[in-house]
Structure formats: C-alpha cells, structure tokens
Chain A
Amino acid sequence: ETGVTQSPTHLIKTRGQQVTLRCSSQSGHNTVSWYQQALGQGPQFIFQYYREEENGRGNFPPRFSGLQFPNYSSELNVNALELDDSALYLCASSQDAGSGNTIYFGEGSWLTVV
C-alpha cells in the first residue's frame, strides 16, 4: 500500500467521449505526476503538478489536461478520446518536486476506448 489511491480502477469509453480520472496523493505529498502505460510498454510521463500548478509536461497533446486541488489530489482529463488512448493511467505522488524524491504510485486506472 503506497497511500496513493486512484479511481475508477477500470472504465470503458467510446471514441470521441471525454474521461476524468482521479487521484488522491499520499498524505503530506504536494506533487502529483501522471503517466500513461500502453500494454507491453513502459510508463510515459504526461505531466506533473506541484502545489496546484503544472510543473512540466511530456509529449502529449492539449486534449490531455489536469488539475491539482488545494488538498493536493488531482484529476486527469482526456477529451476527444482516441482508440490509442487505451492504456493504464498511473498517478504518482512525492513529498516535493525536487530531484531524488521517492515517488509512490497508485494502482492505476485501466481505460479502454472502443
């Protein structure tokens, strides 16, 4: 148990729809990162939020957006879903945004786009 919780655990959406994934960070952690992991691949960095501000973004289109709330929980929103968005979405929290902080991952949300 890492103390990072994600919801929902599984969901199925239709191409073109929108989805919101949620993450509660570990207590005391102010930094949340989101990763996309396609089947058989390593996770790929989507973006990071530090104290409610975006703090770095990977190579993902603008239809991937996020939020971090004052309690440091976070949401990942994906608009205009495409079939290739089918993946495991992982949330990770850390105590700070600096280098070398241990990162704790949640169990992920499995998204299937049909």
Chain B
Amino acid sequence: SQQGEEDPQALSIQEGENATMNCSYKTSINNLQWYRQNSGRGLVHLILIRSNEREKHSGRLRVTLDTSKKSSSLLITASRAADTASYFCATEGIGNEKLTFGTGTRLTIIP
C-alpha cells in the first residue's frame, strides 16, 4: 500500500518558473525523503528531512515538513528542461526503516 499521496499527479510549467509538489502521509515518521525518477529508470535521492526539521535546502531544492499536518512540499526554483521527471516522496517509519513511497508527481518543464 502507498503511504503518501503526491499532489498534483501531473504538473506542466514553463522553463524558469518554480515548481511545487506536495506530499501527504498517514503515520508518524523518522524522516521523509524526496526522489526523482527519469522515465522508467532508477530513483535518485534528492533530499532527506528529519522529523524534527521544518525546512531544508539543497541547491535549487527547498523542502518543508509539517508533522502536525503530516505533509511535506518540494519546491524546485528556476526550473530547467532537465528537471522533467517523476518526483516521489518516501517516508521512513518509526521502528521500521523501510521506505514507503507515494504515488508520484509527473513534472514536465516546457522549454
């Protein structure tokens, strides 16, 4: 079963604009991670945010976490055509280090 739900399921924006994706989850977590997947290929780890953190930055990526609402957001600033991919959030449960993935957001950057 999927723990998280990403919103929106699909997003198309112009190159240079910012892209925001949201993730909601159901149970308490140790951390939440975001991954990127190019069409039918492996997952690439983008960023990890721990349950006691509220915001984290990495390059053009900004992640927020609200544990009271069980939600997270991923912001990609100044998008590029190469950012076109599917983005997944994944949660690591307390006492259970497996990752539970959401359903993903398909991001398309229009040149």
Contacts and interface: CB of A to CB of B under 8 A. Distances in A.
B99 interface: yes
A8 to B, nearest CB: 15
Given A2-B42, A106-B42, A107-B42, A42 B101 contact: yes
Interface residues of A, number: 28
Interface stretch (B44-52, B59-67, B72-80): B44-52
A99 B1 contact: no
Contacts of B50: 100
Q: Determine which residue in A41, A42, A88, A90 has the highest number of CB atoms from chain B within 10 A of its CB, and name it.
A: A42
Interface string A70-114: 000000000000000000101010000111101111111010000
Given A43-B101, A105-B44, A110-B40, A100 B2 contact: no
A103 B35 CA distance: 10
A65 interface: no
B30 A42 contact: no
A48 B98 contact: yes
B30 A99 contact: yes
A72 B59 CA distance: 33
B100 interface: yes
Nearest to A44: B101
B69 interface: no
Given A42-B103, A42-B104, A108 B41 contact: yes
Given A45-B99, A99-B92, A108-B41, 9 more contacts: A2-B42, A2-B44, A42-B88, A43-B99, A44-B101, A56-B96, A90-B42, A105-B43, A105-B45
Interface of B: 1-2, 4, 30-31, 33, 35, 40-45, 48, 50, 88, 90, 92, 96-104
